[in-house]
Chains A and B, each alone.
Chain A
Amino acid sequence: MPEQNQLPQYGYVGKIAWIDLTDQSVKIIPTSNYAPKFIGGRAIATKIYWDVTKPGMKAFDPENPLMFMTGPTTATGIPTGGRTSVCAMAPNNLPEQFCWGNIGGWCGAKLKFAGFDGIVIVGRSQLPVYIKIDDGEITFHDARNLWGTLTHDCQEKLRALHGKDAVSAVIGPAGENLCRNASINTSNDNVAAKAGFGAVMGSKNLKAIVVKGTGDVRPYSVDMVLKLRKTMGNPQRKANPVEYLDRCAFRAHINFKTKPGEVKKTNVACSHGCNMRCNLFVLDAKSAFPRKVTNQVHKCIGVYAFQMTEDCGMFPGMFFHTEKNHNQACLSQGAQVPPPPDTSDPHLEELMKRRPGSTLNFWDGDYDRGNVINDLCTQYGIDKWDVIVWLMTWLVMGKRTGVLDDIDLGMEIDPGNEEFMKHLLDMIVYRKGYWGNLFAEGMARAIRTLGKEKYGDTIYKGIISNVVPGLQLDIPISFESSWGHCFHWQGRGFQGSPPPGYYLSATLMLMTNTRDAQTNSHVHDTLDYMKETMDAHKACLNRKVAENAFMGEIKAEMKECITCCDLQSPQIYWPDMECQMLEAATGIKMSVEELYLACERSKNLFRAILMRDSGRCRAMEEPEAYRPLQYPDCEGQTVSPEEFSKLVDMYYDIWGWDRETGWPTRETWIRCGLEDVAEEMEKLGKLPPDRTNKS
């Protein structure tokens, strides 16, 4: 690989813009200050954050740097390279911690075409503004006439103002009003939502970023790019017609009758250069606003607004693979267009054997209601996970347990009623009254303000497993997982049916993160791995689970740095796919081991920020991650704190982190080329003493 600071002429465009909203100034930083040592995307953003911030940063401080960072594959035509990292101190994490997001759409590619590998936005404008980036020029524009607009309206107005080739990343009223769960929205209804970065934009009085670019991005090898376009994700060449259906059947468990031809659906890609069409696209859907009908994009979560009588089930082939069948992915339950399975595979039956979701009976099928709720979230710019998976389910379970008897929200609490949801989200997004202000702080904080013992931890007794039919699964009314986020393939509550080998690994990944990590680190491994880890107690003693989590986190770093998407990576039977992507884009030839080390560097620097700013250590993160494991999975299995601790020991060993503190050892910092960080940690008293980890 090239020496540090020697930026290849391919893939990167060479500049990062430092944009200060306070004095409306722009500074240009050479990308070579960071890359290729920090490959791109999140890795560069992490390095910038480490360099320019100090402990004590709050999410809404003007100095909080909000960064949009592309990777070397972005805009080269390499599939899924259009995705872009978004990083900053995050308001929707509990506690606030440095965090990452990942957004599709076209802003990342346009940014490269405009001549920038990324932008860093600091400061706070006196009045609402938007930034326009146009072929190397960055200008500031009055956004008072846009303030208050819904996200689609804002994007369309900006397009009308700046031309059809202008794309934008915008916030809606939720971001303007500093709702902690506010999203940044961009083309194709892609969002950076979970961390609440929409509120960071709002705190800076920044309504939108408009990008236009007519420049070129040159990949190292056109032939390699074209080859990847035909091999990554094994894409099918198949027509994509609009279907007119009388059944809403987006998942096995979302399946109800509608009016004849009412459901108009097909699939779309999420970002520039994607070679898949994972996203479900519904046309002429009922809108929550005067537009009457709208087209909507759904990933995995939006469809649960249509119906939640049963939890999201899974089949092993989504996550666990054999040599003959390794192309199914999470979204292949309905949205994606997966290739047909290889029927000569002797393990096909095992791969396709469904582990059904639990019976929930939260709300029945209603196509219009589902579309209205999704439209509300999209147009207000608010995180669908916080609303659909957490707020709505909490309201149902809270009401059924009597916990909410004393709460008057101005209407009968009924998330199955679209009028109630309109009323409730209007209160939240515009921070109307006590309840609006409370829930605008995000679910984690709202429940703590109300009193977590009663409003979070009360046990709901209405969930029935279908993996062990009839087994009652008693879990809290609040689907809280860790760091202020909700369940996402954690083996409990929503998406609760993955086996232990999945959810234990996912829990380890969540532990060292600052948000729901599953967005870009769905667990993948071999079918043998799954079969070996079906017993939760034994799985806690199995080093392969820790190794899987390590791989998952490394691959997540790759996806965020190079960049790539979670539907394409990891490919268990194509371990050097990302190396090929990097080489095709930049000419940098790295072995799998070298790329792993580059990603370890990025992850460890992320950890350094958490140690420096947030007091991150084992005593903080292990109990935070463990919490869901005390409740039964879909087979009634639980894990004790001691069992989980054994898994954490193995996991820390793999990373080269001290078992007692969870801090990287000096050797680890040096191995990652972060000697300066080791010195800093020593000054902070956070370099663990020299002791040999127990094996």
Chain B
Amino acid sequence: MNEKKQGIKERPAEELGRHIIQWDPDISLCAGCGACEIVCSLIHEGVSGSRSRRIFFEHDSVQLMHKVYTCQQCLDHPCYNACPLKDKAMVIDPETNIVYVEEKECIGCARCVKACPFEPKRIQINRNKKAIKCDLCRGRENGPACIEYCQCLAIGMSDDSPPVPGVVVKV
């Protein structure tokens, strides 16, 4: 995936962890349904809505070249570093090295949001004044729900092989 299309500020790939990517249109064009952010907010918050999502679908209403922005799981985790309650509110999963939020501990100071080096930001403060970010659906049996529910395989994991056109993936 062309990283510029992901809106990533100059960050080399080796500084990024295993994360969700949007495939190039020649591999699979995002059909623009928004299922990724819908299921994200449904599974994590029980609602549908942009304040409750951890994946950021940017809808291009005219030319339809939609973009999906995701947490890049930076290996130097600036969001974690900025957290005044690190290891309580912002925690690093020892197995995967992914930063996740323990919402009950989060005080909603938004320092993690400010520290996120990307534009648009990949962390947001939700309606309950808690930071929310993609943790690759940590603990979910089927892995990230956005990938599972994307009908056109337009997103995948950064270490996945691109989908092969014409091959149907059985659910």
Chain A residues within 8 Å of B, Cβ to Cβ:
75-77, 105-106, 113, 152, 155-156, 159, 164-165, 167-168, 186-188, 213-219, 222, 225-226, 229-230, 235-242, 266-269, 271-277, 281, 294-295, 297
B30: chain A residues at CB < 8 Å are 240
Q: How near does chain B come to A486, taking the closest CB pair, in angstroms?
A: 28
CB within 8 Å for A239 and B28 given contacts A225-B42, A226-B42: yes
Tell me how far the C-beta of A104 lies from the nearest C-beta in chain B, rounded to whole angstroms. Answer: 11
Q: Is the CB of A229 within 8 A of B39?
A: yes
Which chain A residues lie closer than 8 Å to B2 at the CB level? none
Could you tell me the distance between the alpha carbons of A230 and B58 in the complex, rounded to whole angstroms? 23
Q: List 13 A-B contacts (CB under 8 A).
A: A76-B48, A77-B38, A77-B39, A165-B50, A167-B61, A215-B49, A216-B47, A216-B49, A217-B49, A239-B163, A240-B152, A273-B33, A295-B65
Could you say which of B35, B48, B52 has the most chain A C-beta atoms within 10 Å of its C-beta? B48
Does any Cβ of A come within 8 Å of B5's Cβ? no
Closest to A241 in B: B165
A273 to B23, CA, bound (A): 20
Taking CB atoms, residues of chain B closer than 8 Å to A239 are 23, 27-28, 152-154, 162-167
Q: Are A218 and B171 in contact (CB under 8 A)?
A: no
Q: Who on chain A is nearest to B50 by CB? A: A214
Q: Could you tell me the distance between the alpha carbons of A165 and B169 in the complex, rounded to whole angstroms?
A: 32
Bound Cα distance A217, B52 (Å): 10
Q: Does B121 contact A (CB under 8 A)?
A: no
Q: Does B84 contact A (CB under 8 A)?
A: no
Name B61's contact: one of A75, A155, A269 (CB within 8 Å): A155
Q: How far is the CB of B31 from chain A (nearest CB, A)?
A: 4
Partner of A159 from the list B26, B61, B151 (CB cut-off 8 Å) is B61
Contact among B26, B46, B152 for A222, CB-based, below 8 A: B46
Residue with the highest number of chain B CB atoms closer than 10 Å, among A106, A215, A267: A215
Is B25 a contact of A241 with CB atoms below 8 Å? yes
Interface residues of B in 1-58 (CB under 8 A from A): 23, 25-35, 38-39, 41-43, 45-52, 58
Judged by DSSP, the binding face of B is: loop
The answer to whether A235 touches B34 (Cβ under 8 A) is: no
Q: Choose among B33, B42, B58 the residue that contacts A164 (Cβ–Cβ < 8 A).
A: B58
In the complex, number of A-B residue pairs with CB atoms less than 8 Å apart: 155
CB B43 to nearest CB in A, in angstroms, measures 7
CA distance A277 to B50 in the complex (A): 22
Cα distance, A294 to B63, chains bound together (Å): 7
Chain A contacts of B46 at CB under 8 A?
218, 222
Interface assignment of B127: CB less than 8 Å from any CB of chain A = yes
Which residues on B are within 8 Å of A, measured CB to CB? 23, 25-35, 38-39, 41-43, 45-52, 58-59, 61-65, 127, 149-154, 162-171
B31 touches A152 (CB 8 A): no
A-chain residues with CB within 8 Å of residue B162 when the two chains form the complex = 239
Point out the residue from A76, A238, A273, A281 that lies within 8 Å of B169, measured CB to CB.
A238
- Closest Cβ of chain B to A211, distance in Å, is 11
Other A-B contacts than A222-B42, A295-B62, 13 sampled, CB-CB below 8 A, are A105-B61, A155-B62, A187-B61, A222-B43, A226-B42, A237-B171, A238-B152, A239-B154, A239-B163, A242-B26, A268-B29, A268-B32, A273-B48
Expressed in whole angstroms, the Cα–Cα distance for A267 and B26 within the complex equals: 12
Q: For B166, list chain A residues within 8 Å (CB).
A: 238-239
Q: A214-B50, A240-B28 are in contact. Are A275 and B59 (CB under 8 A)?
A: no
| Chain A residues near B49 (CB-CB < 8 A) | 75, 113, 214-217
Docked pose: A186 CA to B32 CA in angstroms: 14
Which residues in B have their C-beta under 8 angstroms from that of A225?
Answer: 42
A236-B168, A237-B151 known; A274 vs B62 contact (CB < 8 Å):
no
Beta-carbon nearest neighbor of A237 in chain B:
B169
Contacts of B62 in A (CB 8 A): 152, 155-156, 159, 187, 295
Min CB distance B144 to A, Å, is 14
Instruction: Identify B31's interface contact among A156, A240, A295, CB under 8 A.
Output: A240
B56 CB, min distance to chain A CBs, angstroms: 10
Structural contact, B165 and A277, CB atoms closer than 8 A: no
From B39, B59, B151, A277 is in contact (CB under 8 Å) with: B151
In angstroms, Cα B33 to Cα A644, docked, is 43
Using CB atoms, name the residue of chain B closest to A273. Answer: B38
Q: Which chain A residue has the least Cβ–Cβ distance from B23?
A: A239
Chain B neighbourhood of A187, CB < 8 A? 59, 61-62
Kindly state the separation between the CA atoms of A276 and B31 in the bound complex, as whole angstroms.
9
Kindly list the 10 A-B residue pairs having the minimum CB-CB distance in the complex, ordered from nearest: A187-B61, A240-B152, A216-B49, A216-B47, A239-B28, A269-B33, A239-B163, A77-B38, A237-B169, A277-B31
Contacts of B152 in A (CB 8 A): 237-240, 267, 277
Q: Are B64 and A188 in contact (CB under 8 A)?
A: yes
Contact present for B35 and A275 (CB under 8 Å): yes
For the complex formed, measure the closest distance between the CB of A301 and the CB atoms of chain B, giving whole angstroms.
19
* Distance in Å: Cβ of B139 to nearest Cβ of chain A: 17
**A360 to B64, alpha carbons, bound, how many Å?**
34
- Whether A242 contacts B171 in the complex (CB less than 8 A), given A218-B46, A272-B33, comes out as no
Check if A242 sits within 8 Å of B151, measured CB to CB. Answer: no
Give the docked Cα–Cα distance between A230 and B169 (Å): 13
Q: Please give, as numbers and ranges, the residues of chain B lying within 8 Å of A75 by CB-CB distance.
A: 48-49
Q: Are A188 and B32 in contact (CB under 8 A)?
A: yes
Within the assembled complex, what's the spacing in Å between the Cα atoms of A225 and B162?
A: 28
Q: Roughly how many angstroms separate A75 CA and B47 CA in the complex, as a whole number? A: 10
